[in-house]
C-alpha cells in the first residue's frame, strides 16, 4: 500500500515523457510545388564541362582519374568516359550501347561493382554490363553482357532506372519504375543472379523474380552490412500523393523476392533517392514533391516504422540525387526543379547533418547554383571532388569539397 504514491509518481513521469516525445516528434512534410529561396553560396568552387547528350548517372571508376557517365541524346543512350585527373573533367570518348536484348535504347542509373571491374547501366528490362578496363581503353568490345528477361517471365519490368548490387556483386536489384505495362501497374524490384565471366562467355544474369512495391519505384540502397535493401516508391497508390520507403530482406530477395518486404512506411510526397550512413543507422531520402530531405532511424524501420522519422529538412525545389560530403557531416541534394516551376531555381542544397538531426531550422547552409535539372552525384575516391549531372544543360559540374561551408 505504502508504495502506491511512488507508483503514481512513476506513472505520471512516464506520461510526461511520452507527451514530451509526441510534441517533439518530427512530422512528415506535405506536398509543395515551389521551395522558398535560399541564400546563394557563391564561395563554393565549381566548374562545368559540356557533354554530348543529357547526363543521367555518374560513377567514379576504381582506376584513378576516370569517371563514367550515362548520356542520352534523342532517346539513344551512350556511355561517356571522363578523364578526372584535373578539377575540370575532360571527355575521353563515348561508347555506343547496343539496344539488343534489353528492349530499350536509353541509359539511366549507373552503378560500379564493388570490385570495380564492371559498370551496370540501368535500361529497359535490366542493365547493360560494361567491362570498366575496356571502357577506359576505348575497346570496341566494351559491353560484355546484359541483364534481361531472356524470355523468362520471372522478372517483370521494362523501365529499369537504378541498379544496386549485393555486397559481393552476385545479385543485382533493379528498380523498375513501372511494371510490365507502362503506367498501369505497380513498380517493382527485379532480382537477377549475376554470372561471373568465364573465358569469352558474356557476363549475363539469370532472372530470379520480382517484388511489387508502390508506383514508380526509383531509388534503392543497400545497408553497409549487405543484409537490407531500402527502396522508395513515388506513390503508395495511384490516388495518394504520398510515397513509401520499403525495407527488404536481401537473403529473401535472392530466393523468394515476393516475400522480402519486412516493413514499409509513408515517406513524404514523391520520394526518389536514398543514401545510407556508413554506420547503417540513418537512412536519408529525397522527397521530390515535398521539397524535403528526410532522415529515418534504420532500427526503428524494423521495430516501429511509424515512429522512425528522425528529421525533415526543407531543401530546394524537386530534390532528386543526394550525397554525403566531408565525412558525412554534410549532405548535398540535387534540387532539380525538373517540373520548371515558376519562380523556382535549380541548385544544390548544402545541409549540416548534425543540425538536421537536432531539428534545427538552420540546417540548410545555402544553395550552390547549377545548370538545369541537376540529377545524380558521384564522389571521387579521395573525397575531394563531387560531380553532378546537369541533365537539361547537357553538362557535368565538378564541386570542390574543400570549398563547401
Ligand X SMILES: *[C@@H]1O[C@H](CO)[C@@H](O)[C@H](O)[C@H]1NC(C)=O
CB of 98 to ligand X, least distance (A): 7
Residue matched to cell numbers 547549377: 370
CB of 40 to ligand X, least distance (A): 17
The one among 32, 48, 83, 392 contacting ligand X by CB under 6 A: 83
Contact 232, 248 (CB under 8 A): no
The one among 18, 30, 153, 360 contacting ligand X by CB under 6 A: 153
CA distance 246 to 324: 21
Contact 137, 95 (CB under 8 A): no
CB of 2 to ligand X, least distance (A): 35
- Tell me the three state secondary structure of residue 300: helix
Q: Kindly write out the interface string for residues 85-104 of this chain, putting x where it contacts ligand X by CB under 6 A and - elsewhere.
A: x------x-------xx---
Q: Which helix (H) or strand (E) holds 46?
A: strand 46-50
Stretch that binds ligand X, among 17-25, 292-300, 347-355, 367-375 (CB under 6 A): 292-300
Under the criterion CB under 6 A, does residue 193 sit at the interface with ligand X? Answer: no
CB of 97 to ligand X, least distance (A): 10
Under the criterion CB under 6 A, does residue 370 sit at the interface with ligand X? Answer: no
CB of 10 to ligand X, least distance (A): 21
CA distance 117 to 186: 33
Select 54 or 79, whichever has its Cβ closest to ligand X: 79
Select 96 or 202, whichever has its Cβ closest to ligand X: 202
CB of 298 to ligand X, least distance (A): 8
In angstroms, what CA-CA distances link 135 with 89, 92, 132, 144, 169?
Answer: 16, 10, 5, 10, 19
The one among 99, 266, 277, 380 contacting ligand X by CB under 6 A: 266
Phi, psi angle pair for 321, to nearest 5°: -65, 160
CB atoms within 10 A of CB 354: 11
CA distance 285 to 280: 14
CA distance 329 to 20: 28
Under the criterion CB under 6 A, does residue 300 sit at the interface with ligand X? Answer: yes
Distance from the Cα of residue 226 to its chain's centroid: 16
Under the criterion CB under 6 A, does residue 346 sit at the interface with ligand X? Answer: no
CA distance 277 to 248: 17
**By 3-state DSSP, what share of the chain in percent is helix, strand and coil, each rounded to 5?**
15, 45, 40
Contact 81, 135 (CB under 8 A): yes
CB of 336 to ligand X, least distance (A): 18
Alpha-carbon torsion, ordered 226, 228, 233, 234, to 10 deg: -70
Select 54 or 356, whichever has its Cβ closest to ligand X: 356
Contact 293, 270 (CB under 8 A): no
Under the criterion CB under 6 A, does residue 244 sit at the interface with ligand X? Answer: yes
Under the criterion CB under 6 A, does residue 132 sit at the interface with ligand X? Answer: no
Under the criterion CB under 6 A, does residue 145 sit at the interface with ligand X? Answer: yes
- Tell me the three state secondary structure of residue 83: strand
Under the criterion CB under 6 A, does residue 361 sit at the interface with ligand X? Answer: no
Select 54 or 95, whichever has its Cβ closest to ligand X: 95
Cell of 401: 569539397
CB of 289 to ligand X, least distance (A): 15
Select 301 or 350, whichever has its Cβ closest to ligand X: 301
Q: Kindly write out the interface string for residues 306-345 of this chain, putting x where it contacts ligand X by CB under 6 A and - elsewhere.
A: ----x----------------x--------------xx--
Select 310 or 388, whichever has its Cβ closest to ligand X: 310
Contact 7, 14 (CB under 8 A): no
Under the criterion CB under 6 A, does residue 124 sit at the interface with ligand X? Answer: no
Stretch that binds ligand X, among 15-23, 145-153, 252-260, 370-378 (CB under 6 A): 145-153
Give residues in contact with ligand X (CB under 6 A): 65-66, 83, 85, 92, 100-101, 136, 143, 145-146, 153, 202, 204, 214, 236, 244, 264, 266, 297, 299-300, 310, 327, 342-343
Amino acid at each position: 500500500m505504502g508504495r502506491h504514491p511512488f507508483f503514481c509518481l512513476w506513472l505520471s513521469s512516464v506520461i510526461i515523457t511520452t507527451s514530451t516525445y509526441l510534441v517533439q516528434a518530427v512530422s512528415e512534410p506535405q506536398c509543395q510545388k515551389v521551395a522558398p529561396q535560399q541564400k546563394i553560396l557563391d564561395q563554393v568552387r565549381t566548374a562545368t564541362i559540356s557533354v554530348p547528350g543529357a547526363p543521367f548517372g555518374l560513377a567514379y571508376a576504381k582506376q584513378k582519374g576516370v569517371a563514367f557517365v550515362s548520356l542520352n541524346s534523342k532517346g539513344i543512350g551512350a556511355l561517356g568516359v571522363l578523364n578526372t585527373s584535373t578539377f575540370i573533367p575532360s571527355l575521353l570518348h563515348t561508347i555506343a550501347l547496343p539496344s539488343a536484348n534489353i528492349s530499350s535504347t536509353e541509359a539511366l542509373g549507373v552503378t560500379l561493382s564493388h570490385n570495380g571491374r564492371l559498370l551496370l547501366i540501368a535500361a529497359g528490362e535490366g542493365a547493360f554490363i560494361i567491362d570498366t578496363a575496356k571502357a577506359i581503353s576505348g575497346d570496341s568490345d566494351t559491353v560484355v553482357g546484359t541483364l534481361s528477361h531472356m524470355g523468362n517471365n520471372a522478372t517483370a519490368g521494362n523501365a529499369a532506372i537504378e541498379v544496386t548490387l549485393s555486397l559481393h556483386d552476385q545479385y543485382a536489384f533493379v528498380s523498375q519504375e513501372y511494371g510490365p505495362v507502362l503506367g498501369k501497374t505497380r513498380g517493382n524490384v527485379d532480382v537477377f543472379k549475376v554470372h561471373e565471366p568465364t573465358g569469352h562467355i558474356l557476363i549475363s544474369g539469370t532472372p530470379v523474380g520480382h517484388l511489387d512495391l508502390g508506383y514508380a519505384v526509383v531509388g534503392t540502397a543497400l545497408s553497409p552490412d549487405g543484409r537490407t535493401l531500402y527502396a522508395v516508391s513515388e506513390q503508395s497508390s495511384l490516388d495518394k500523393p504520398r510515397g513509401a520507403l520499403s525495407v527488404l530482406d536481401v537473403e529473401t530477395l535472392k530466393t523468394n523476392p515476393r516475400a522480402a518486404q519486412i516493413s514499409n512506411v509513408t515517406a513524404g510526397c514523391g520520394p526518389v533517392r536514398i543514401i545510407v550512413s556508413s554506420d547503417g543507422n540513418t537512412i536519408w531520402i529525397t522527397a521530390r514533391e515535398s521539397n524535403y530531405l528526410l532522415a529515418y532511424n534504420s532500427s526503428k524501420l524494423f521495430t516501429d516504422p511509424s515512429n522512425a522519422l528522425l528529421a525533415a529538412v526543407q531543401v530546394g525545389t524537386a530534390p532528386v540525387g543526394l550525397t554525403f560530403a566531408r565525412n558525412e557531416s554534410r549532405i548535398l541534394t540535387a534540387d532539380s526543379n525538373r517540373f520548371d516551376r515558376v519562380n523556382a531555381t535549380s541548385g544544390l542544397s548544402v545541409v549540416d547533418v548534425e543540425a538536421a538531426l537536432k531539428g534545427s531550422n538552420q540546417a540548410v547552409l545555402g544553395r550552390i547554383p547549377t545548370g538545369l535539372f541537376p540529377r545524380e552525384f558521384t564522389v571521387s575516391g579521395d573525397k575531394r571532388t563531387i560531380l553532378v549531372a546537369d541533365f537539361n544543360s547537357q553538362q557535368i559540374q565538378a564541386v570542390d569539397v574543400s570549398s563547401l561551408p
